[in-house]
């Protein structure tokens, strides 16, 4: 079979996600199809499956076995479930509310400075290993309204409708982006977050066998994380300049 057919799994993911099918199902189907195209059997020929025809093939690890092995190895990535009761209880007694108060106390004069501050807050949460559903929990109810307020002050109005729609769209996009930037690069600064654990599990897997420590992974994530904060700050300050020009012009 031509090698290129192995990319069928990639096509399945693209089409499946584009059609908004259940992600878990799309991912698993892609894995099964790719494995079968590559000539892997469903099961390893050992134990109860010893010598079973069709389902196994001598000397090859089965797809279901690989799935089970990898899923068990990657349990690290989902270990945070053990912290959910404590976090849930803290939320019940005002964790989100208090975090919101914490952010609101930031008196950032401009949209850009506010977004830089929020990104830093998000990086800090990443370092502490705290997972947030940032877009629904902070960006929509908190960061965007505060950014809009800063823009209104800049334009000398008190209503959002007085702001040009193009600028409001920019502020919305920037608010969502500051969450993504802080989340993606901040989380690698903690040894107990998913990305670092994936690197750890992958490099330490028996087939690869490097003895790598979580702390060295975190250490080498620092330069890129620092750069991400700097590049984002430049973009947000540039946004400030853009807004200043067009809002003062609109006044």
By beta-carbon proximity to another protein, the closer residue of 156 and 209 is 209
By beta-carbon proximity to another protein, the closer residue of 156 and 224 is 224
Q: Report if residue 152 touches another protein, rule: CB under 8 A.
A: no
Q: Report if residue 174 touches another protein, rule: CB under 8 A.
A: yes
Query: Shortest gap between Cβ of 97 and another protein (angstroms)?
Result: 6
Options 105-113, 155-163, 222-230, 242-250: segment touching another protein (CB under 8 A):
222-230
Q: Report if residue 200 touches another protein, rule: CB under 8 A.
A: yes
**Contact by Cβ (8 Å): 170, 148:** no
Please work out the total of residues on this chain that contact another protein, with binding judged by CB under 8 A.
124
For 130, 138, 142, 193, 221, the CA distances from 91, given in Å and listed in that order, are 13, 14, 17, 20, 30
Return left, alpha or beta for 59; rule: phi > 0 is left, psi -120 to 50 is alpha, else beta: left
**Interatomic CA distance for residues 133 and 183, integer angstroms:** 10
By beta-carbon proximity to another protein, the closer residue of 109 and 203 is 203
If you search the block for the tokens 């790719």, which residue do you land on? Answer: 34
Structure tokens at 156: 């000398």
**Contact by Cβ (8 Å): 182, 118:** yes
Q: 52, 83, 245, 250: which one contacts another protein (CB under 8 A)?
A: 83
Say how far residue 177 (Cα) sits from the centre of its chain: 12
Q: Report if residue 15 touches another protein, rule: CB under 8 A.
A: no
Q: 54, 58, 82, 159: which one contacts another protein (CB under 8 A)?
A: 82
**Contact by Cβ (8 Å): 70, 63:** no
Q: Report if residue 108 touches another protein, rule: CB under 8 A.
A: no
**Contact by Cβ (8 Å): 77, 198:** yes
Q: Report if residue 121 touches another protein, rule: CB under 8 A.
A: no
Q: 132, 176, 237, 242: which one contacts another protein (CB under 8 A)?
A: 176
Query: Shortest gap between Cβ of 202 and another protein (angstroms)?
Result: 5
Q: Report if residue 28 touches another protein, rule: CB under 8 A.
A: yes
């Amino acid at each position: 079979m031509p090698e290129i057919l192995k990319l069928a799994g990639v096509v399945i993911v693209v089409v499946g996600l584009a059609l908004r099918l259940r992600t878990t199902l799309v991912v698993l189907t892609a894995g099964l199809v790719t494995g079968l195209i590559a000539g892997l059997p469903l099961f390893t020929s050992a134990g109860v499956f010893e010598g079973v025809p069709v389902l196994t093939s001598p000397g090859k690890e089965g797809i279901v076995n690989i799935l089970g092995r990898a899923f068990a190895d990657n349990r690290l990535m989902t270990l945070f479930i053990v912290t959910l009761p404590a976090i849930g209880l803290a939320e019940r007694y005002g964790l989100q509310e208090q975090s919101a108060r914490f952010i609101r106390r930031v008196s950032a004069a401009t949209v850009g400075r506010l977004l830089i501050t929020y990104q830093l807050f998000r990086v800090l949460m990443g370092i502490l290993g705290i997972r947030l559903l940032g877009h629904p929990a902070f960006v929509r109810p908190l960061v965007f309204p505060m950014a809009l307020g800063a823009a209104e002050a800049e334009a000398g109005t008190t209503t959002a409708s007085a702001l040009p729609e193009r600028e409001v769209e920019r502020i919305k996009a920037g608010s969502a982006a500051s969450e993504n930037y802080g989340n993606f690069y901040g989380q690698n600064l903690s040894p107990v977050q998913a990305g670092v654990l994936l690197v750890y599990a992958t490099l330490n897997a028996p087939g690869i066998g490097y003895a790598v420590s979580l702390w060295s992974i975190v250490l080498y994530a620092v330069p890129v994380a620092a750069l991400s904060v700097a590049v984002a700050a430049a973009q947000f300050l540039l946004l400030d300049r853009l807004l200043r020009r067009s809002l003062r012009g609109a006044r």
